[in-house]
Amino acid sequence: MFGKAKKAAKEKARKIKILGIFIFIFNTLAFLFVALHPKKWQKLIKGQKKEIKELSSGKEDFKRFYRDSWQLTKDFFIPYEGNDHKPKSLRPKSLVTYVLIAVIIKITVTGFLFFTYPDPAQLAAIVADRMVNLVNDARAEADVDLLSVNSELITAAAQKGTDMLDRQYFSHDTPDGKKPWQWIDRADYDYVYAGENLAIDFTSAEVVQAAFMKSPSHRRNILNPKYKEIGIAVLNGEMNGRQTILLVEFFGTQRKDVSTLATTQQPTTEVTQPPAVQVPVPLPEEPKVAGEQTLEQPTQEIGLPTPEPPTEGIIVVSTNQQSSKALVDLVIEYSNIFFIAFLIFILISLLLNIFIKIRVQHSSLILQTIAVAALITAMILVKFHFVEQVDPHILIL
C-alpha cells in the first residue's frame, strides 16, 4: 500500500509540473496576442462578455446572441467589405504574431529537450538508471526481492546492443545464431539463470517499462523471483537508415546466489502475446524454463515447471497509447499537436479568405499567409534534437 501511495504522489507531482509548463506557455501566448493587438482583442473580449451577460440575464434570446457574436468575430476571420476583404486574422501583424509564437514554442521545446538530454550519453545514463528503479518498483509492489545492478551484465548488454546496431538486426539471436546468454562471460559471471528484454524506438524509461509490463512474457522476466541481478545498456544509433534508441535488459543469477533464492513459485499468467527471450539450455534430465537458462543441479531443488517451447516475436506499441509517459514524451507529443493545430488554423483561415469572395483577392495577403504556413510546416518537419527523430512506435522483444 505504501508503494502505491508513493507512486500516486509521484504521478501527481509529474502532472502538476506538466500543468505548470503549459500554463506558462499559454500565458506567454496570451501576452503576445494582447501586446500586439491590444485594442482589437479588448474590443472582441468586451463584446463577447456583453453578449454572454445579456444571454444569461434573458435580455436576448440565443438567436440574437448568435447573430451579435457572429458580427463581432466576422472581422477577424471572414472577408467582406467592412474589413476590405482582409480578415484581421491574416493581416501582417497577425501573421508576425503567429511566427513569433511558433518560434518561441520551438525554441522552448528544443531547449527543454537539450536541458533534459544534452547528448546521447546522458540519455543512456538517465534511462538506464531510471529503468532499474522502475523494475525494482514493480518488484516491490509484487512483493518480490529487489534486483541489484551488476557491471558484468551491463557489459554484456552493451556488447549485445552494439552488435545489433553494427549488424542492423533486432532480435534475441544474432544473424549467425549466437544466443543472448552467450554474451555473458562465464569466467566473470557464473550464471545459473539468465533472461533478456529488448526495446527500440523510445524516448523515456517510463514508456519502455509500461510496454514491458503490458506484455505477459516481459512482465514475467521483470517479476521473476529467480533473478537476483540486472544490467541495462541504452544505446543511440541508426537502424535501417533512421535514428533510434535501443535498450538491452539482462537479468541473471550467479551460481553462488542460488541458495538464497525463494522457493515460492510465481503465479502463472496466460500468454497472449509473443514472449520475450526464451533461453533454455537443454541438459539431460533438467527442466527447461521460458526466459531463463537452466544449467546445474540446483534447479531440481527449486522444482521449476516445464512449459512448452515458446516462439518469439516483435510487439509494436504506439507511444500515443501509453498511459504512463514521462515529461519528455508529453512535451514532444503536445508540441507536435500544437504545431499541427496551428497549421490547420492558418490554412482554414486562408481557404475562407480565398473562397468566400473568390472574385476579390489580395495576392500579397495570400502569399504572406502561405509563407507563414510553410514556416510552420518546416517547424513540424525539422527535428533539432535527436530524441525527436525517434519513431513514435516502440518495439519490444
CATH number at residue 251: 3.40.33.10
What is the per-residue pLDDT across 200-247, written as a single tens digit (0 to 9) for each? 988 888 889 988 998 888 999 999 999 999 999 999 888 888 888 999
Mean pLDDT of 242-258: 90
- What number of H helices and E strands is found in the chain? 11, 6
Residue 53: which pLDDT band, with cuts at 50, 70 and 90? low
CA distance 92 to 31: 18
Pick from 45-49, 323-327, 350-354, 385-389 the range whose average pLDDT is largest: 350-354
Whose grid coordinates read 521473476?
224
Quick one: 247 and 133 in the same domain?
A: yes
- Domain extent for 346: 328-382
In a domain, 84, yes or no: no
Q: What's the domain count of the chain?
A: 2
Q: What is the mean pLDDT of the chain?
A: 75
Sign, CA dihedral 331-337-338-343, equals positive
CB 161 within 8 A of CB 235: yes
In a domain, 167, yes or no: yes
Domain boundary, last residue among 299, 319, 339: 319
H or E element that contains 394: strand 393-396
- Bridge partners, 253 (sequence order): 193
Query: According to the model, what pLDDT value does residue 152 have?
Result: 94
pTM: 0.62
Quick one: 258 and 126 in the same domain?
A: yes
In a domain, 24, yes or no: no
In a domain, 220, yes or no: yes
In a domain, 235, yes or no: yes
In order, the DSSP letters of 300-358 are HHHT---PPPP----EEEEGGG-SS--HHHHHHHHHHHHHHHHHHHHHHHHHHHHHHTT
